[in-house]
Structure 1
Amino acid sequence: MDWMQISVRTSHEAMDIIAEIFGNLGANGTQIEDPAIINEYINSNLWDYTDIPLQKRTDVITVHAWLPCDSMLEKRIKMLNKQLEILSSRINTAPCETMTHKIKEEDWANNWKKYFHPSKIASKIVVKPSWEAYQPQKDELVVELDPGCAFGTGTHPTTSMCVKFMEKYLQPGAKLFDVGTGSGILAIAAARLGVKDIEAADYDNVAVKAARENIKKNDVMEIIKCFQSDLLKKFSGKADFISANIIADIIIRLFDELPDKLTKNGIFLASGIIKDRLNDIEKAAEEHKMYIVDKAEEGGWVALVLKFEADK
């Protein structure tokens, strides 16, 4: 299948909202190209950017997303343009200049290779692409990942915050469910941290395929069962730890299913929440008798660790 790459040039104030718009439209992958972050990495030597010059303009960022070239493409683009028009009228600094480029699925990995390098995203977990060599240091755990057509390389704050919370709260003997697994990164990270019973699922079969390939690449097929599911519907039994790095609206829907899928004293890790939607998540948690155990914020995104009030 061919893909339509849609790129929106906009401001920092609007970038997270546009990323969420793409997510709601069913984009198979979203990438934010922020010149300020590129400069930050170059200056801090966190990544090897020897072939990338310092960016001169840091006030304009670009949000990239990929939509399948199917019968729904025209309708999705019309919906996107309408929502961008509304956004531009509400945020004066959001010009929302849109560009499109058709690409073939087999070219996808090469597009990512320009941006994806080994990165230590928590105190132990290092994420690296298969095409680069990396020698782990003491206590480092390596997740080998090719994002393919699925979101999740570990470098985005929503993912790195999740992994940091996993290192803090996840017990090796736990059973873990990963909802909206994307590239499978959180499930694989959990396996690296010693968890032996993991189920990972995504609504999108393209993501399921990418996750299965990464699970095989990391040799954790016997630990992680990966399948297609609408939220928690096809997960079996109850889990001690449920992770969901998705978007606010889907997390709110997920609260309804947690009582039947989360054990007593179980932990719900929710991420992919833009800061403006935090109040909505807090309200939904309160309505479902859950409370926030821990919270992290980075780059305008929020990740939460929640438990049932009955377990206090």
Structure 2
Amino acid sequence: MSSAMDVGMTLPVMEPDIAPDVLREWAERIDAGPYSSVCFGERIAFDNPDALTLLGAVAAWTRRVRIGTTVVVPQLHDPVLLAKALATGDQLSGGRLSVGLGVGGREEDYAAVSADWSNRTMAEMAERAGVLRRVWSGDNLTGATRPVGPRTVQPGGPELLVGTLGHRTVRHAARWADGVAGMTLSADVDETGALFDVARSAWTEGGRPAPRLTTSFWFALAETAPEPRGQVHQHLRHYMNWLPPALVDALAPTAGFAGTLDELRALLDRFAAIGTDEVQLIPTSDDPRQVDLVAELVG
């Protein structure tokens, strides 16, 4: 596999009844290397751990890898409180935080926290990203006796990546994002390459530095699952609970990656060839053996 591309691993936070000691074991194994990042995303109306609380734990469980939120939906949070929580995570991790922001696709998550579904817009996300940056730069937005802290370790705060599959969203985000936190439903290299080309063009047209280009996809290994495609299907039946089961069943046969380590190596090489900076693998079971097997492949 190309050494120019990093590989991160996502914690199995969307698995049913995930135990804290399992999450800690995964985080520590990922931190042992050679992974570039440990990642996790956000959902509200689900049984996963809260992403911002977990951020503090992962910062304490790890010493080396970057920590990626893939993704947080700023419209579900008060932006100043979100800025404070993320600044705390950056400080606790010693400046290892990378923040993915997306508008989200589940109306029930918005309803669960009484957030306005009509705010699910690119303009609203951009505005809230601006609030994060202003808080992290020390601006006193609240009129209080002191600005909202703590200070971030990374000057100006963590990098902000736009979490999306859409070309239009990527073009809009070129105004504020440092790069792309992509996701490909079917581990499609050509589709991802097209998205990255849009990003490169949009950042260039905006006079911005070259964007950081990352993507992610679900995976299941034949070495740890007797039926890897069935494992992906079972995972999606749990994770995609907001969709009709028939729709999930139709998606499952081509979703993510299901195969051997050698086949995964070949796929990662193809992602490296299109200039991907990092692939973040999303597990479809909580078996920690996957961490070690992929580590051998990456290393």
Tell me which interval the TM-score lies in, with the shorter structure as reference length: 0.3 to 0.5
Structure ranking higher on relative contact order (CA contacts 8 Å, 6+ apart): 2
TM-score between both structures, scaled by the size of structure 2: 0.32
If each structure's helix is expressed as a fraction of its own residues, which one has the higher value? 2
If each structure's strand is expressed as a fraction of its own residues, which one has the higher value? 1
